[in-house]
């Protein structure tokens, strides 16, 4: 087997993650022929094909899947090595890739703006996606850490709570229950709910809430984003359960109201999640400390705005 270069591993990992030469080329600022050449050289080094084409799509071969495992481990070690040497030099710089679930995007930009202002040498990348995609980015080592409301199962990830995440029941201002007090769970059973897709953290809370009161899940419509839920609730299509962090603007402009439902808000937490086998960079450590400090002020600000 011929020696395989770090550059070949970088190109291979990008193509394997994107399953597309053009997207990998754009990501690495290379031409598509240059990407194809690096993949060919990597295949020559391994002595086996790494990709196979089925129709217009490419897929990893068995050898490609094996190489991807080692490539990610080696690339991760290289990044950790660079971070260690930067720390030894006393440098506060580096890159930080953060993946957040869509609801967290309501408060993350303002926190990141403060982080960048305090640490201008750190280059921050932010990816907003649904929970499954965020977990995949962590697993594939695309993201250094993630922000989500429901940590993934298993023992491969570490999750640290840093801020409360209250879930509230929302309705349009003209809804019959808008001014009711101490609404009981059984009163909600006849309502139409607008819910996130199966597997989402919020959806699980809703299902457990009704089950705990021996009630079947009410009639509902599934939405793939919180924005879709908010717009549909405003239009009078039903009621929803959503993070309080995502409705500040709508409450201020009287486009939505929070219903006074018994047993609500349901208080969950936001978590910082990262792989246990990945040594956190200086930038990642700074970000975690920063989040823990700044989130306390954000909680007080949100509490004041709702009172």
The distance between the two most distant Cα atoms of the chain, rounded to a whole number of Å, is 74
Compute the radius of gyration of the chain from its Cα atoms: 23
Residue 225 CA, distance from chain mean position? 13
pLDDT tens digits, one per residue of 19-40: 999 999 999 999 999 999 999 9
β partners of residue 163: 270
pLDDT tens digits, one per residue of 40-98: 999 999 999 999 998 889 999 999 999 999 998 888 888 878 777 766 555 455 678 89
β partners of residue 195: 222
**Buried/exposed code over 117-132 (b: 16+ C-beta within 10 A; e: otherwise):** eebeebebeeebbbbe
Full 3-state SS string of 111-140: HHHHHHHHCCCEEEEEEEECHHHHHHHHHC
Identify the CA nearest to 281 among candidates 132, 104, 125.
125
Residues 85/131, Cβ–Cβ less than 8 Å: no
Which of 31-45, 124-138, 236-250, 290-304 has the weakest average pLDDT? 290-304
Distance CA 199, CA 130 (A): 10
Ranked by mean pLDDT, the top range of 65-79, 107-121, 150-164, 168-182 is 168-182
Residues 86/228, Cβ–Cβ less than 8 Å: no
**Buried/exposed code over 227-242 (b: 16+ C-beta within 10 A; e: otherwise):** eebbebbeeeebbbbb
Distance CA 99, CA 82 (A): 22
Domains of the chain: 6-75 (1.10.10.10), 93-163+269-306 (3.40.190.10), 164-268 (3.40.190.10)
pLDDT tens digits, one per residue of 248-295: 889 999 999 999 999 899 988 889 999 888 877 777 888 888 888 777
35, two tokens: 């990407």
| Model pLDDT, residue 92 | 57
What pTM, to 2 d.p., does this model score?
Answer: 0.64
pLDDT tens digits, one per residue of 167-204: 999 999 999 999 999 999 999 888 999 998 887 778 88
| Model pLDDT, residue 193 | 92
Distance CA 281, CA 258 (A): 41
Average pLDDT over residues 113-129: 83
| Model pLDDT, residue 118 | 79
Identify the CA nearest to 290 among candidates 118, 83, 95, 109.
118
């Amino acid at each position: 087997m011929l020696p395989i270069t770090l550059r070949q591993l970088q190109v291979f990992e990008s193509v394997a993650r994107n399953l597309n030469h053009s997207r990998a080329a754009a990501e690495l600022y290379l031409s598509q022929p240059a990407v194809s050449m690096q993949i060919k050289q990597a295949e020559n080094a391994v002595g086996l094909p790494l990709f196979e084409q089925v129709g217009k799509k490419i897929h990893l071969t068995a050898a490609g899947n094996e190489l991807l495992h080692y490539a990610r481990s080696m690339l991760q070690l290289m990044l950790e090595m660079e971070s260690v040497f930067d720390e030894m030099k006393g440098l506060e710089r580096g890159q930080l890739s953060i993946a957040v679930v869509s609801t967290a995007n309501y408060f993350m930009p303002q926190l990141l703006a403060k982080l960048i202002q305090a640490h201008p040498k750190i280059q921050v990348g932010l990816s907003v996606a649904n929970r499954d995609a965020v977990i995949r980015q962590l697993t594939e080592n695309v993201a250094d850490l993630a922000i989500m409301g429901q940590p993934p199962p298993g023992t491969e990830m570490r999750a640290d709570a840093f801020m409360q995440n209250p879930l509230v029941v929302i309705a349009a201002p003209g809804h019959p229950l808008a001014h009711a007090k101490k609404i009981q769970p059984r009163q909600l059973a006849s309502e139409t709910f607008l819910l996130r897709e199966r597997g989402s953290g919020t959806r699980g809370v809703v299902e457990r809430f009704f089950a705990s009161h021996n009630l079947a899940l009410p009639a509902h419509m599934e939405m793939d984003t919180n924005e879709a839920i908010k717009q549909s609730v405003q239009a009078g299509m039903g009621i929803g359960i959503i993070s309080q962090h995502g409705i500040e603007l709508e409450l201020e402009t009287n486009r939505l109201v929070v219903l006074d439902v018994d047993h609500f808000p349901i208080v969950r937490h936001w978590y910082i999640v990262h792989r246990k086998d990945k040594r956190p960079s200086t930038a990642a450590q700074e970000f975690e400390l920063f989040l823990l400090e700044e989130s306390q002020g954000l909680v007080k600000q949100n509490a004041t705005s709702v009172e």
